[in-house]
Amino acid sequence: MLAVAEINYIRHEANRKDCSYAYIARRIGRDPRTVKKYAEKEDFNPEIKPKQNRPSPVMDPVKHIVDEWLLEDFKKKKKFRRTAKRIWEQLKEKFNFTGSDRTVRNYVANRKIELLDEASQAALPLDNKPGAAQVDFGEAPFQYQGEEIVLPYLVLSYPYSNAFYFQVFPSQNKECFLEGLKRIFHYTGSVPRTIRFDNLSPAVKKILPNGERQLTEDFQNFVLHYGFDYEFCNPNSGNEKGHVEAMVKYVRNNFLLPSLHVMDLDELNKGLWEKSENDRERKHYEKETLISQLFEEDQKASLILPSKEYRCVRYETLKADKYGYIRIEKNSYSTSPRFALNKVVVRISYNKIDILTDEHQLVVSHSRLYGQYRKSMKWQPYLNLMAKRPLALKYTSFYDQLPSEWQTYLDACTVSEKQEALKFLSSVLKNHQFEKVTESLIIASEYGHPSIESIKQVFYQLINGRGIREEVQFKKALPSMPEISRGLAHYDQLMEGAGIN
C-alpha cells in the first residue's frame, strides 16, 4: 500500500488538475495501473483480513493435548507451570511427536494469549461461569445451655452449579471470616477463580471515591496466598451478589430451623459438609442437570490449592495490668505474674488467645471469649507465686475451681505441704489436665493423707502407662512348719538316738 502522502498527490493531480495517469506515474515512479487504482478508489474503509488457518500436519494432532496442559497449568503459580520446552519434551516422550522445538514454542506463545483471554472472560461472576463464587454471612438461632442465642454462618455459593458450603461461627470478625473461607478451600481441595463479596469490614477497610477498595492487610495477604480474584458489590447493592443472598435464606430455612442444639461448634460444623453435599443430588432449577454434576465443572475451572495452609491469626502487643490481665474486645485474659505492667505478644485466632514471650514461646492459651465483659483466668502461671502465700489460696477463684478431692486434701495440709502441693500443680498443669492429677490423688489417698511425693509417684506411673503395682499374690501356699515346744524332752530323744541311757 502506498503512503498517505503519495495517495493524496495522485488524487490531487488526477482529479483536481486533470493530469494523465501516465504523467503522474512518471513523476512519482509508480506503475500507471497503481495510479489509476488510487485515483478512482471510492472506499477507504480499513480492510479486515480474515485469519488464515493454515493446516499444520505436525501440530494439529496434539493441539488439544497442549491446550489441556496449558489450562491445567493456569491453575498453578507461574513457577510451577511447564515451559514450552518441557511441553515439547513431553510430547516427544508420550506421543512420539516429530515436530521441532520452535514449532511448539510458537504455538504455546500464541495459544497462551488466547486462553488467558478466554479465562479472564470465564471469571466474571455475573455471567455464572464455572469457577466463580459469592460469599456472605447469615444469622440463625441456636440452643446453647438452655438459652437461645443467635450465631452467624458463612456461606460460599457457586452460581454456575447452584452448589454451596456453609460453616457456623461465634462472630463475623476477621478471623472467623478468613477461617471459614480457608476451611471451604481445603475441604474442596480447590479455590474459586473469582469471588464476589459485599463490602464486609473484615475485607474492606475503606471504599475510595473512584470505586476502588482499600483492603485490610489480613485479607490482602489471604488473597495473595490463595491467588483468587476478588470483586466487591457497589455500596447498597446487595443484589449484585443475589445468588449467595438466596443461598443464605435457603441454608437457614432448610438446615438451621428450628434452632439446633449446639455444645461444640467444631463438632456441629463437621456435620455440615455432608448436608451441603447431599443437597446436590437434585436437578438445577434451570439446566435440568444434577447440581453435583455441574459442581464438577466448577471444580475443574477452580484454582489449585497452594502447598501451605494459611494461618488465620493476627499478632498484637498488649500491656498487662498489675494483676497480669490483658484486654481484647472488652474481655480479659490472664497472662502470668511476671508480665504484670509489662507488654506481651498475643496471638489471636477465631477460637484461641495465646500469650507468648518475646521469643514466641507459649506462656498460656485461652479459649477466645465472645460477648462483653467476661474474664478468662488460667491459674497455672500464678501457682508458684501462690505457693509463697499459701494462706491466701482459699480466697481465690482457683480454689473454687478445684475438684472437691483437691479442696479436701489442701484443707488437711500444713502450710509447708500446701506450698509443695501448689508447686507440684504448677509443674504438671503446664502439659496435663486436672483429671490425671486428681486420679493420682485419689489412688494415693487410699491409705490416708498422702505426701506430695506419694502423689507424684502415682501420677508419673499413670502418665507413663505403668499403672499401679498390685499386691503380690503367691500361687502356692508356704509349707507348714512344726509347732515349737519347750522343755528337755528334745534332749531325751537325742540321747536315745545316740544309744545313751
Residue 432 lies in a domain: yes
> Do 148 and 202 lie in a common domain?
yes
Q: Does some domain include residue 487?
A: no
Question: Is residue 112 located within the same domain as residue 133?
Answer: no
Mapping DSSP to helix (H, G, I), strand (E, B) and coil, where does residue 182 land? helix
Tens digit of pLDDT for each residue in 184-203?
A: 999 999 999 999 999 899 99
Dihedral, CA of residue 177, residue 267, residue 258 and residue 171, to nearest 10: -20
Contacts 24+ apart (CB under 8 A), 405-408: 405/438, 405/441, 405/442, 405/445, 406/434, 406/437, 406/438, 406/441
Specify the CATH number for the domain of residue 351.
2.30.30
* Residue 279's CATH number: 3.30.420.10
Regarding whether 457 and 355 lie in a shared domain, the answer is: no
- In the sheet where 331-334 sits, what is the strand order? 325-328, 331-334, 375-376
* Judgement on whether residues 32 and 69 belong to the same structural domain of the protein: no
Whole-angstrom Cα distance, residue 134 to residue 239?
A: 12
Q: Residue range 19-46: average pLDDT?
A: 84
**Which pLDDT score is estimated for 288?**
87
189 close to 179: Cβ distance less than 8 angstroms? no
Same structural domain, 111 and 244: no
Q: b/e map of 170-207 (b: 16 or more CB within 10 Å)?
A: bbbbbbbbbbbbbbbbeebebbbbbbbbbbbebbbeee
227: buried, middle or exposed (CB in 10 Å: 19+, 13-18, 0-12)?
middle
* Cis omega (within 30 of 0) for bond into 141: no
Which residue's C-alpha cell is 507451570?
Answer: 81
Quick one: 419 and 337 in the same domain?
A: no
CA–CA dist 331, 369 (Å, integer): 7
Q: How far is CA 220 from the centre of its chain?
A: 15
Give residues with Cβ within 8 angstroms of 123, minimum separation 6.
Answer: 129, 131, 132, 193, 194, 229
Given its phi and psi angles, is residue 161 left (phi above 0), alpha (psi -120 to 50 degrees) or beta? alpha
What's the mean pLDDT in 305-323? 93
> Do residue 282 and residue 399 come from a single domain?
no
Is 55 part of any domain?
no
Give mean pLDDT, residues 67-78.
Answer: 83
Contact 327, 307 (CB under 8 A): no
Domain range spanning residue 73? 60-122
pLDDT confidence of 415, banded at 50, 70, 90?
Answer: very high
In a domain, 392, yes or no: yes
Inform me whether the pLDDT recorded for 478 exceeds 60: no
Residue 357 covered by a domain? yes
* Candidate ranges 104-118, 232-246, 349-363, 392-406; pick with highest mean pLDDT: 349-363
Q: What is the dihedral of CA 127, 131, 135, 141, to 10 degrees?
A: 110
| Average pLDDT for 467-471 | 49
Confidence of residue 499 (pLDDT cuts 50, 70, 90): low
Same domain, 164 and 272: yes
pLDDT digits (tens, 9 = 90+) for 359-397: 999 999 999 999 888 889 888 888 888 888 888 888 887
- Tell me which H or E stretch contains 278: helix 265-278
Same domain membership, residue 330 and residue 363: yes
Among 79, 98, 122, residue at a domain's last position: 122
Average pLDDT, the chain: 86
pLDDT digits (tens, 9 = 90+) for 233-269: 877 665 678 899 999 999 999 999 999 999 999 999 9
Asked whether the beta carbons of 134 and 127 are under 8 A apart, the reply is: no
Instruction: List pLDDT tens digits, range 258-303.
Output: 999 999 999 999 999 999 999 999 999 888 899 999 999 999 999 9
**pLDDT score, position 413:** 93
Same domain (yes/no): 112, 261: no
In sequence order, what are the residues at sequence separation of 6 or more whose Cβ sits closer than 8 angstroms to the Cβ of residue 13? 19, 23, 24, 27
Q: Looking at the structure, do residues 358 and 272 belong to the same domain, yes or no?
A: no
The whole-angstrom separation of Cα 248 and Cα 154 is: 8
Closest CA to 177 of 141, 213, 124, 230: 230
Closest to 205 measured CA to CA, from 195, 194, 220? 220
Residue appearing with cell numbers 455441574: 294
The answer to whether 243 touches 197, Cβ cutoff 8 Å, is no
In this prediction the pTM is 0.66
Percentage of residues in the chain having pLDDT higher than 90 = 52
**How many domains would you assign to the chain?**
5
Residue 468 lies in a domain: no
128: which 3 cell numbers? 455464572
Instruction: Verify that 284 and 170 share a domain, yes or no.
Output: yes
Residue at which a domain ends, from 270, 304, 338 = 304
The answer to whether the beta carbons of residues 193 and 160 sit under 8 Å apart is no
Q: What is the mean pLDDT of residues 478-493?
A: 59
Q: What is the pLDDT of residues 12-24, one digit of tens each?
A: 888 878 889 999 8
Q: Do 153 and 272 form a contact (C-beta atoms < 8 A)?
A: no
E strand map for 145-228: 147-158, 163-168, 190-191, 194-197, 204-207, 213-215
394 in any annotated domain = yes
Give domain status of residue 490, yes or no.
no
Contact 357, 321 (CB under 8 A): no
SS (H, E, C) 8-62: HHHHHHHHCCCCCHHHHHHHHCCCHHHHHHHHHCCCCCCCCCCCCCCCCCCCHHH
Among residues of the chain, what percentage have pLDDT more than 70? 87
Each residue's pLDDT tens digit, 221-239: 999 999 999 999 877 665 6
Instruction: Give 190-204 as a 3 state SS string.
Output: EECCEEEECCCCCCE
Q: What is the mean pLDDT of residues 338-357?
A: 94
Which is more confidently placed, 333 or 484?
Answer: 333
